[in-house]
Amino acid sequence: MKKRIYLNLILFAFAFLLVPFFVSAQSIGERTIFFVDSSFSKTNQSSVDASLRFSSSLLNMYIEDSWWEERTDEEKREMSIILNDLGNEFDSRMFNQLTYSYGSLWAPGTSTTGKKVTVLFHSLKEGARGYARNIDGYEKAIAPYSNQREIVYLNVETIKDDLLKSYLAHEFSHLIQFNQKERKLGTPEEVWLNELRAEYAPTIMGYNSASNENNYLRSRVRSFLNRPTASLTQWNNELYDYGIVSVFGHYLVDHYGVEILTESLKNSNKVGIESIEEILKKKGINDTFEDIFTNWTIASYVNDCSIGDKYCYKNDNLKTLQVIPFSNFVPFSGESTLVIGQTLSNWSSHWQRFSGANRDLKLVFDGRNQKEIKVYYIIRYYTGKQEVKEIVLGTNQTKEIIFPKMGVDIASLVLVVSAQDKTIPFNQQSNYYYSISVSTVNPVVEEPQEQAIELPFEIDKPLNQMNKEELLMVIIRLIIHLLMQGKLVI
């Protein structure tokens, strides 16, 4: 019996000696060594020394020692004010609002800090704002490099960033999602949907005020518009990935409510698209994920509720959003043929714009027998009217359509092409090829005019087909020309 007691004491002492290197420090200024993700670390290191610098009722904030020691006393005082404010915000609002929306945190879980959440500020690579590690939710016996606590990691440079609270809201939501999906239900969420919910967290907190031109959501809109053709589900951890899931997520909530995000997290053991469709059915909504994705791609170009309720964004930050399509111009004179070939990723879209022609336009779409490809078109007339219609492809995924008086009555034609394949795993790379051929046919016969107006420069189309803005630009060009020729004096 004594031998067993001694053995237990030895094992306890051995464990006690090992733990302090990677467990929480409880008093201000006390140092701890943390494991970190070397792929995010600025110096590729896998651990950092950090000390507890600020603490609130629910938050312990550590800062990397080497970085902190290089700050001036004035900088430290300034950061003290910022982080105290962050702690108060977390205690009074963030913790309660995000756990109410997304579900409970696993606290104390494996942590030795009780209900407190840890934030480690350390030096991250350029462009990185923060991250979370699921392995920190497991004991060291299972995950030796676990910090064994509810912890998020933020770039130390974000301390003075105006979006600091938004960054913390994003990362904190990952801790909740880990508990709700992976720990409780045993179903790790697909990355794109995990990040989508995290991207919506700052909006739940009210941080994306439309009056703030530089809020978190608008920064994501800029990333989205830089590369709107990226896949929604294939995650590469690039800025454009965050942009597309953020914009799509806000569209989703605009039209189906935030419950789509919260219920698919808390009350569905499915993941990704299946979890969203499960909640749609529970709410009695007949729309499929394909329907939502298609309407979103159209809304991203049209963004006009008067054309259709699903063809617009309702968030104030997104009411002016519009994707710039690929532009294809068909010459006004002579017969012309234009052929385009493109490759789509799964759950991605292309917007192809055609203008010019000044006659009937024949369009042939070829989806190369790929049933996953969907095509819609948007016609804009010179009168300002717009139409949205689907191109119903044939059995071999091809279709020929004649658009009459292109460039005469029709100002532009935009094809929205997307690949939608639910049979492919979310992280599997897949490509879908399509081609578009346009050619001019049946030239439009213009009525003879009593007197032709000759201009000293070329214009893209007849004056009688221009709107007010285009005529104004012609007049301005004419005035500049006359001034340079000395034929007009002001």
Q: What is the pLDDT of residues 210-250, one digit of tens each?
A: 888 899 999 999 999 999 999 999 999 999 999 999 999 99
Contact present, 345 and 430 (Cβ < 8 Å): yes
> Which 8-state DSSP code applies to residue 325?
P
Is the pTM of the predicted complex or chain greater than 0.75?
A: yes
Strand partners, 381: 410
Tell me the mean pLDDT in the region 244-273. Answer: 96
Q: What percent of the chain has pLDDT over 70?
A: 88
Q: Phi/psi of residue 21, each to 5°?
A: -65, -25
Other Cβ atoms less than 10 A from the Cβ of 163: the count is: 18
Between CA 207 and CA 166 the distance in angstroms is 7
Between CA 486 and CA 481 the distance in angstroms is 9
The pLDDT score that the predictor gives to residue 4 is 40
Give the right CATH number for 326-443 from 1.10.8.60, 2.60.120.380, 3.40.228.10, 3.30.1360.30: 2.60.120.380
Contact present, 180 and 137 (Cβ < 8 Å): no
Q: Is the pLDDT of residue 128 over 90?
A: yes
Instruction: Check residues 27 and 7 and name the one with the higher pLDDT.
Output: 27
pLDDT band at 108 (very low <50, low <70, confident <90, very high): low
Which residue is associated with the tokens 């009593």? 450
pLDDT tens for 16-41 read 334 334 444 468 989 999 999 999 99
Nearest to 318 by CA among 199, 427, 420: 199
